[in-house]
Structure 1
């Protein structure tokens, strides 16, 4: 039996053991996957113990994505640019490879599950923290035309523009604070702030959504988030939460570990039904 895990603190709420259990069942993979509560001040010790005992791979969630970056012996280019790792894999030589599947998970959810074509789109990204860093590169590579990063402190948003500038030469990147937002129209607005966790909403003006726009909250919950409710009131053509991104980033990690790509639609449906049932 091959062993995998997800590290976090807290971790009891994690859907990852269920998701990967369903993936393994679907693809006939013999693997065990469990949740591990790592001490906030000793992710390295906890992860080292797991891999030394024969663990082959792990997912990493809050608050350890930066610790996982430091823990990794090698990094994928997308993890290096994102400055965070959410997927670890033990190589044949014993070295730990760090990757970031968050962004590709978002892009797959947008394109495959929601039918949203990113090419040529004008995108507004709310927030400049770790969640934002993980999704910028895949969005640019999907061919968006324009990306504005808005954050409470504009300096953090500007840093991200500098990091990702030139990655997709045709794309226009800009940054600002909440006050810099005006009635520019966006085809896609992504909420990568933590405001939804506390039931809050960034101070957004009216008129941000173009006709046919999609509003997407990277968080998910049983109820629509404040951002999703705002978007509906603003006339968004489509509103979505981040449950699909959770499933798709897990599928990418599963593929990295097992070299088998699971089907995600049934897993997402089961997870959604479970979430709605409370």
Structure 2
């Protein structure tokens, strides 16, 4: 019997998740089907409920529904509860739906294991205060940086998010204008979805330290504007979020199937295809 999974979002047509999970399934000999599931902005709960009632076993959740998914789940894993956002939904017995968040684990694995990037004692900056940012703040603070700043177009939202994680490490929230007054950072993570519309957050010069890495959570052409800006600002390294996507997908796959796939060949395959 083939189990059904999908990625739900808006937009979702661009998602590489079906290709990633198809590769994982082939690698681990799993009988599963993984599709794209678009949902209207006000119809997440109805769309997700219909999927599970039809026998679906799990969903990955992308923008803009990670906070909606946290409300939708019957119960949350510890890391989803800490994040207050969900990117993975898991169907259990009796129709109970668990929400998990694998974003932080995926980002850390890509930064630390795939890229060998040190985080201890470093200055970190996250752009955006939505579900994507919320899912990674706790794991980033657990890596013991010197500081973590959340910057958002709406300052109050960034301040509130920082307050949520204040007991976990040195974190504060500011508005974008405040970026002109901070010390240059070693890691800049773009957790906004501006790149999907070909846009770029309003960023001042002199934001990056000499050895800084600029990391965009979106991938492919949607990351070009951010990476181009970072290179012009002298970033030592720039990268999109394809590695994070593959690593968080592997964590979701493990939650669904109880197996951990090898991500390296899948990431190489996707990079080769993008080239």
TM-score, scaled relative to structure 2 = 0.92
Aligned to 1:81: 82
Aligned to 2:170: 172
Name the stretch that deviates more: 117-126 or 57-66: 57-66
In the TM superposition, what are the counterparts of 1:182-193 in structure 2 within 5 Å?
Answer: 182=181, 184-193=183-192
1:253 partnered with 2:252: yes
Aligned to 1:90: 91
Compared with structure 1, are the counterparts of its residues 30 and 101 closer, same or farther at alpha carbon in structure 2 (3 Å cutoff)? same
In the TM superposition, what are the counterparts of 1:39-118 in structure 2 within 5 Å?
Answer: 39-118=40-119
Residue 224 of structure 1, CA deviation = 5.3
Residue ranges of structure 1 left out of the alignment (5+ in a row): none
Query: What is the alpha-carbon distance in structure 2 between the residues aligned to residue 230 and residue 191 of structure 1?
Result: 12
Moved over 6 A (4+): none
Query: What is the alpha-carbon distance in structure 1 between the residues aligned to residue 64 and residue 253 of structure 2?
Result: 21
Compared with structure 1, are the counterparts of its residues 200 and 41 closer, same or farther at alpha carbon in structure 2 (3 Å cutoff)? closer
Residue ranges of structure 2 left out of the alignment (5+ in a row): none
Query: What is the alpha-carbon distance in structure 2 between the residues aligned to residue 239 and residue 272 of structure 1?
Result: 15
Aligned to 1:4: 5
Aligned to 1:27: 28
1:226 partnered with 2:206: no
Aligned to 1:211: 210
- Residue deviations 1:80-121, cap 9 Å, x none? 232321111112343110011112111111112111122221
Query: What is the alpha-carbon distance in structure 2 between the residues aligned to residue 223 and residue 9 of structure 1?
Result: 15
SS at match of 2:93: coil
Whether contact under 8 Å (1:222, 1:275) holds in the other structure is no
TM-score, scaled relative to structure 1 = 0.91
Aligned to 1:199: 198
Name the stretch that deviates more: 199-208 or 67-76: 199-208
- Residue deviations 1:167-215, cap 9 Å, x none? 2xxx321221222223612110111123323333333222222232111
Aligned to 1:262: 261
Compared with structure 1, are the counterparts of its residues 201 and 46 closer, same or farther at alpha carbon in structure 2 (3 Å cutoff)? closer
Whether contact under 8 Å (2:104, 2:139) holds in the other structure is yes
Query: What is the alpha-carbon distance in structure 2 between the residues aligned to residue 50 and residue 151 of structure 1?
Result: 33
Whether contact under 8 Å (2:212, 2:235) holds in the other structure is yes
SS at match of 2:144: coil
* Higher normalized helix content (fraction of residues): 2
Residue 5 of structure 1, CA deviation = 1.8
Name the stretch that deviates more: 191-200 or 133-142: 191-200
Residue 259 of structure 1, CA deviation = 1.3
Whether contact under 8 Å (2:195, 2:222) holds in the other structure is no
Compared with structure 1, are the counterparts of its residues 2 and 195 closer, same or farther at alpha carbon in structure 2 (3 Å cutoff)? closer
- Residue deviations 1:51-87, cap 9 Å, x none? 2232221112233323322221101132223232111
